[in-house]
Structure 1
């Protein structure tokens, strides 16, 4: 199972009414849970090593600047079609409300729009990348 398939499964679970989900295959085990006030743990490990605790990744340094972030968990698309030009490129001046990219979740395309008149400084995601809620997509400066 690919990382993208796992993330899509997680997004569908999060949007569902189910409170727990467990999937075990020959190669790995995935257990999802959600509930009341506290966040439920999410585990994904090879089935043979399911009992071994996973090492926590080192926290990444927060990038500086203003960002357009992912409004949902989904797939990032820089253009409306694979052969189309990207919505924005570095150096572009965009107007408030202008579409800067698309996010796909559960076969629904969602336009992501510029929050203000701005200049694009960096596109931080690769076309087709799976991104999490709140993850930076595009860095910009007002102007």
Structure 2
């Protein structure tokens, strides 16, 4: 892995909402964690009241969601010049590909969990997603 790839990885982590990330290869291991070690934990009680209002500002949509199965870059279409796999209002079948997530230069298809209608897309094309983050909201058929 080149220095530039490491810098890009750290930049993507900084832009994401993931709290931790670990990348291991035969040659090395990189582990990224938000926050710090002992110093921020000691200051946490004083900072907790200020941090509490941040959580409610994130809109919580009702209904089931298709969540990210891994950390990576979210893509709505198979190629930049092609149409999205799904749009809000589309009816999809169980197992149908709804998006791609790129991780370590590998593309992973994300399938629909059931026959459903896509109600909304929760992420933007090209956005970094964390494990378990909602990608789509849907209504089962």
Cα deviation, 1:66-105, whole Å, max 9, x if unaligned, reads: 1001111110000000000000011111000000000001
Q: How far is the alpha carbon of 1:19 from its aligned partner?
A: 7.2
Aligned length: 116
CA RMSD of aligned residues (A): 3.2
Map 1:123-142 to 2 at 5 A.
123-142=121-140
Q: Which moved more, 1:75-84 or 1:58-67?
A: 58-67
Within the candidate set 15, 23, 26, 1:15 is matched to 23
Q: How far is the alpha carbon of 1:5 from its aligned partner?
A: 2.6
2:4 alignment partner in structure 1? none
What CA distance in whole angstroms lies between the structure 2 residues aligned with 1:89 and 1:138?
10
2:35 alignment partner in structure 1? 43
The answer for unaligned runs of 5 or more in structure 2 is: 1-6, 37-42
Please give the TM-score of this superposition, normalised by the length of structure 2.
0.69
Q: Is the 8 A contact 2:12 2:128 kept in 1?
A: no
1:25 alignment partner in structure 2? none
What CA distance in whole angstroms lies between the structure 1 residues aligned with 2:140 and 2:87?
15
> Higher helix fraction: Structure 1 or Structure 2?
2
Q: How far is the alpha carbon of 1:18 from its aligned partner?
A: 3.6
**Using CA pairs below 8 Å that are at least 6 residues apart, which structure has the higher relative contact order?**
2
